């Protein structure tokens, strides 16, 4: 799942031995003229300075409730960049954003130049803001600012592992969302995002879509491929987690604990590298000393929070832990948390909090992040004793995350009815390529292997022997980039799962 951390992974991978096969190499036939089998899209120019030339935007009307398709409608912001080589065009490539809470319009803006170059005119590039985000219809919960910080939206336990405050806050958040969010908030779900994508497909006039899905978007993409297999062409799932339909978001949250453990050695090696000496960021002489140093500092800040440069927002142990969680996304963010550790250690320094942990999220952003995972599946009924036991055990097994991933959340108090989640199976065309970092802090490799097993012969897995969250384009992953690009542009896909090494 994404955070408000940056997405700049500095990766470099070489080619593994690669046997390939060709899938669906012929151009994809169009179903009908755009809009004739769905709502019409009225495109307008929306290119920004320094952005993608020729970018267009439109609003897609979708039913608030698909059980009443002719009832109230809401709007989704969609964007496209047409192929610059019409003769080479074979269809539409949908960029499915992550999150929950990531804007597809922003993702296409950031990744679009590299993607356009890689695709070489093979596709129109299309993305969208899911319900509740960006230019789409939004809803809020009217949450107090104090409840919208990452360290409060995520249920970080108290210094001694106590969760009473988490339970009270979670109940308060769930009740506020129930009172203020209304039918729009209740409509935020993976099931509706999948239906919205198929409505977009029809509005575009496409019989089939290809897709590049990222993080949480891989769950959206896999559900779409399960529900609408005949409308999928070449399907890429990047940074995937466990699709267990009995847990869904609850499982993804729990998986962040082993994910942090998998990734932390990369940070420790960086922080102990002699190259950090001249930067003033070397935290220890040996990598194995970084983890106990970090844990001891976080425990000290639990007891004695330190005033930061943000008025009224001290650096606590949990803010330090959350800053680490964010930084594990990318090697390029290691310096941010290394600097924060140094400032916390220096009695004369005033820590400068990273923006992601310095202030509250906007109310509507907080609402969509919570509502999507809470609406997707029924969470266990709130039980402070049961969650306290789970937190106590998880703090011992995974001290970097201090019990947060298994703690009580607003979803445990959520009243909105959940649809039965989709079970991902091997029933469907063999046209899926998964690409995954070995040491991903948010969607760990163990979860990706469960998705791989669920998909069976429908998929092939490209494992990148690297760390961080995100695996295709702009990250320097030569082997992974080449494999994904070849699949999307030519249909060549590895005959078996492969591994890319540095």
Q: What is the pLDDT of residues 402-455, one digit of tens each?
A: 999 999 999 999 986 778 999 999 999 999 999 999 999 999 999 999 999 999
pLDDT number for residue 6: 38
pLDDT number for residue 34: 52
- Flag whether pLDDT at 3 surpasses 70: no
Q: Tell me the two tokens of residue 406.
A: 């298994």
* Residue given tokens 């809020």 in the structure block: 140
Which segment of 29-43, 168-182, 295-309 scores lowest on mean pLDDT?
29-43
Question: d(Cα 368, Cα 143) in Å, to the nearest integer?
Answer: 12
* Residue given tokens 């919205």 in the structure block: 196
pLDDT band at 192 (very low <50, low <70, confident <90, very high): very high
Higher pLDDT, 23 or 238: 238
Percent of the chain with pLDDT over 70: 91
The answer to whether residues 122 and 491 touch, using CB atoms and an 8 Å cutoff, is no
| Residues with Cβ within 8 Å of residue 68, at least 6 apart in sequence | none
Mean pLDDT of 318-343: 97
Mean pLDDT of 91-119: 95
pLDDT number for residue 190: 97
Phi and psi at residue 473, to the nearest 5°: 70, 140
The answer to whether residues 124 and 94 touch, using CB atoms and an 8 Å cutoff, is no
pLDDT number for residue 12: 25
pLDDT number for residue 49: 85
CA atoms within 13 A on the CB side of 416: 28
| Residues with Cβ within 8 Å of residue 160, at least 6 apart in sequence | none
Percent of the chain with pLDDT over 90: 88
The answer to whether residues 451 and 480 touch, using CB atoms and an 8 Å cutoff, is no
Closest CA relative to residue 97, chosen from 81, 108, 86: 108
The answer to whether residues 411 and 460 touch, using CB atoms and an 8 Å cutoff, is no
pLDDT number for residue 13: 24
Q: What is the pLDDT of residues 275-291, one digit of tens each?
A: 999 999 999 999 999 99
| Residue 54, preceding peptide bond in cis (omega within 30° of 0) | no
Closest CA relative to residue 467, chosen from 458, 454, 476: 476
3.40.50.720, 3.40.50.1820, 3.40.50.2300, 2.60.40.4070: CATH of 20-138+186-245+422-500: 3.40.50.1820
How many other β-carbons are positioned within 10 Å of the β-carbon of residue 226?
20
Residue 230, phi-psi category: left (phi > 0), alpha (psi -120 to 50), beta (remainder): alpha
| Residues with Cβ within 8 Å of residue 273, at least 6 apart in sequence | 282
Question: d(Cα 455, Cα 225) in Å, to the nearest integer?
Answer: 10
pLDDT number for residue 418: 75
pLDDT number for residue 37: 63
How many other β-carbons are positioned within 10 Å of the β-carbon of residue 256?
24
Phi and psi at residue 412, to the nearest 5°: -70, -20
- Flag whether pLDDT at 268 surpasses 90: yes
Q: What is the pLDDT of residues 486-500, one digit of tens each?
A: 999 999 999 999 999
Per-domain boundaries in the chain: 20-138+186-245+422-500, 141-180+257-420
Mean pLDDT of 202-223: 97
For residue 2, give Cα distances in angstroms to 117, 177, 236, 441, 485: 25, 22, 17, 10, 23
pLDDT number for residue 144: 97
């Amino acid at each position: 799942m994404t955070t408000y951390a940056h997405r700049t992974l500095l990766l470099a991978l070489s080619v593994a031995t690669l046997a390939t096969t060709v899938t669906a190499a012929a151009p994809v036939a169009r179903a009908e003229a755009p809009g004739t089998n769905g709502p019409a899209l009225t495109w307008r120019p929306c290119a920004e300075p320094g952005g993608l030339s020729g970018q267009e935007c439109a609003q897609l009307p979708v039913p608030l409730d698909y059980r009443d398709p002719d009832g109230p409608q809401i709007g989704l912001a969609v964007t496209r960049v047409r192929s610059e080589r019409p003769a080479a065009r074979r269809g539409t490539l949908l960029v499915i954003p992550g999150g929950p809470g990531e804007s597809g319009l922003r993702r296409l803006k950031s990744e679009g130049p590299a993607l356009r170059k890689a695709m070489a005119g093979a596709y129109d590039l299309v993305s969208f803001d899911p319900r509740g985000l960006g230019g789409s219809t939004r809803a809020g919960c009217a949450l107090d600012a104090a409840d919208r910080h990452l360290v409060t939206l995520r249920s970080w336990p108290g210094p001694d592992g106590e969760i009473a405050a988490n339970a009270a806050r979670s109940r308060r958040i769930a009740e506020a969302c129930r009172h203020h969010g209304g039918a729009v908030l209740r409509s935020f779900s993976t099931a509706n995002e999948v239906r919205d994508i198929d409505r977009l497909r029809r509005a575009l006039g496409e019989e089939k879509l290809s897709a590049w899905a990222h993080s949480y978007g891989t769950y959206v993409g896999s559900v779409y491929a399960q529900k609408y297999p005949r409308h999928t062409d070449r399907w890429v799932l990047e940074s995937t987690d466990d699709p267990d339909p009995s847990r869904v978001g609850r499982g993804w949250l729990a998986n962040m604990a082993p994910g942090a453990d998998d990734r932390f050695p990369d940070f420790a090696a960086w922080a102990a590298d002699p190259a950090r000496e001249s930067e003033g960021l070397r935290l220890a002489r040996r990598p194995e000393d970084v983890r106990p140093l970090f844990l001891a500092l976080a425990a000290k800040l639990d007891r004695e929070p330190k005033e930061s440069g943000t008025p009224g927002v001290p650096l606590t142990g949990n803010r330090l832990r959350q800053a680490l969680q964010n930084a594990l996304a990318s090697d390029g963010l290691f310096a941010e948390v290394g600097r924060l550790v140094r400032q916390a250690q220096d009695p004369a320094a005033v820590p400068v909090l990273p923006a992601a942990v310095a202030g509250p999220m906007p109310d509507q952003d907080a609402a969509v992040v919570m509502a999507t995972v809470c609406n997707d599946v029924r969470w266990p009924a709130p039980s402070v004793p049961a969650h306290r036991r789970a937190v106590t055990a998880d703090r011992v097994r995974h001290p970097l995350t201090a019990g947060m991933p298994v703690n009580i959340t607003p979803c445990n108090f959520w009243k909105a009815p959940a649809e039965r989640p989709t079970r991902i199976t091997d029933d469907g065309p063999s046209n899926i390529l998964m690409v995954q970092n070995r040491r991903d802090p948010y969607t760990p490799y163990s979860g990706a292997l469960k998705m791989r097993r669920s998909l069976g012969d429908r998929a092939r897995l490209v494992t990148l022997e690297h760390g961080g969250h995100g695996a295709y384009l702009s990250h320097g992953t030569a082997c992974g980039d080449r494999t994904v690009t070849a699949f999307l542009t030519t249909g060549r896909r590895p005959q078996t799962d492969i591994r890319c090494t540095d």
